[in-house]
Amino acid sequence: MRRLESFCEGGIRYLFEPAERETAEQVRAICAESVRVTQEQWELPLPRGCRVYVLASWWQAALLPAPLPLRLWYAATLPLWRHRARNVWSQAAAWTQPYRSAPAVVVKPQRLWTKREDSIGRRIYRFHGPEDRMRNVVCHEMVHACANRLRLPLWLNEGLAMLTVDRLLGRQTVRTGTLPLLAHDGARDPVTDYRRLGAVADDAVVHAYVRGYWLTRFLAESHPDLLRGLIARRMSRVAIDYAIGRRLSLRRQALWREIDVIVAAHFADLPAD
């Protein structure tokens, strides 16, 4: 394995394979504007020690960003997690590892991204070309890095990242056609935990991301002070549920049975894609 090259800018250390310098420069520019928008919109600071990697192989993406003790443990247990990591890598364009020391973002070179027409990303987002998609992916992960200390629940963590991409690109990036999924799938057992996300069918993954986006956008439009309060400090999932339930006059036991219908009704007049 060739030694990674690196440079630092704006409080972020960029590490990349020598052949990926052009992509690293592109990522650097997007990271800078993403951090700016994230701070302007949500007052989320860039965490100290943040690193961004541009890597072309799944095993490098899994091992290299990890702290040394964890890296050694990963190497020793490789047969136990290799298959799952390769499957995730085949679908992912990027990911964020929320290490305690500092978050690490990994971006896959764009030429390696999946071209499946039925991919999860294509089912959720409206892309306007390769550059648009790259900005979407990098901004999304940088929001995760900035929100790392909050340990947000899946719906809010993903929704906040997706909504920030809207603010960066100046348009709605999620398909309006995903709204019916809320009413259709809301009565089922939704995915609410990252630990389940890699073990469910694509339909459930799509629903988890879609629900996060529309619910977070609903709060941003109807209850912006509440949303800002939810991300101002670290809160437990129960405390977040109670805060939303109080604002919407819903008991916590009923919140997740009724919230999808409330959100879908709020956006019922959006024009179709």
Selection from 71, 70, 64, 125 nearest residue 93 by Cα: 125
**How many distinct structural domains can be found in the chain?**
2
241 and 127 together in one domain: no
- Number of residues in the chain: 273
Written as one letter, the residue type at 248 is L
Q: What pLDDT does residue 257 have?
A: 85
Contacts of 189 (CB under 8 A, 6+ apart): none
d(CA 233, CA 204) in angstroms, rounded, equals: 29
114 and 229 together in one domain: no
- If one compares 191 and 229, the residue with the highest pLDDT of the two is 229
- If one compares 80 and 191, the residue with the highest pLDDT of the two is 80
Q: What pLDDT does residue 10 have?
A: 95
d(CA 214, CA 189) in angstroms, rounded, equals: 18
205 and 107 together in one domain: no
Six-digit token pair at 111? 């030429």
Mean pLDDT of all residues in 146-174 = 97
113 and 4 together in one domain: yes
146 and 158 together in one domain: no
* Residue at which a domain ends, from 99, 123, 150: 150
* Residue at which a domain ends, from 124, 150, 176: 150
Mean pLDDT of all residues in 24-34 = 97
9 and 124 together in one domain: yes
Token look-up 């949500």 returns: 42
| DSSP result, 207-227 | HHHHHHHHHHHHHHHH-HHHH
* Residue at which a domain ends, from 150, 185, 216: 150
- If one compares 130 and 174, the residue with the highest pLDDT of the two is 174
Give the pLDDT band (50/70/90) at residue 187.
Answer: very low
**Residue 75 zone, left/alpha/beta (φ > 0; ψ -120 to 50; rest):** alpha
d(CA 237, CA 188) in angstroms, rounded, equals: 20
113 and 193 together in one domain: no
Regarding beta strands 104-107 and 94-97, do their DSSP bridges make them parallel or antiparallel, or are they unpaired? antiparallel
Range of the domain at 243: 151-273
63 and 138 together in one domain: yes
64 and 108 together in one domain: yes
Is there a contact between 35 and 13 (Cβ–Cβ < 8 Å)?
Answer: no
Mean pLDDT of all residues in 144-158 = 96
CATH value at residue 122: 3.30.2010.30
For helices 21-42 and 130-146, the axis angle rounded to 10 degrees is 60
180 and 161 together in one domain: yes
Q: What pLDDT does residue 157 have?
A: 97
Q: Which of 8-12, 216-220, 269-273 has the lowest mean pLDDT?
A: 269-273
Average pLDDT, the chain: 91
Q: What pLDDT does residue 189 have?
A: 63
d(CA 204, CA 27) in angstroms, rounded, equals: 30
175 and 236 together in one domain: yes
137 and 177 together in one domain: no
∠ CA 120-123-127 to the nearest 5 degrees? Answer: 100
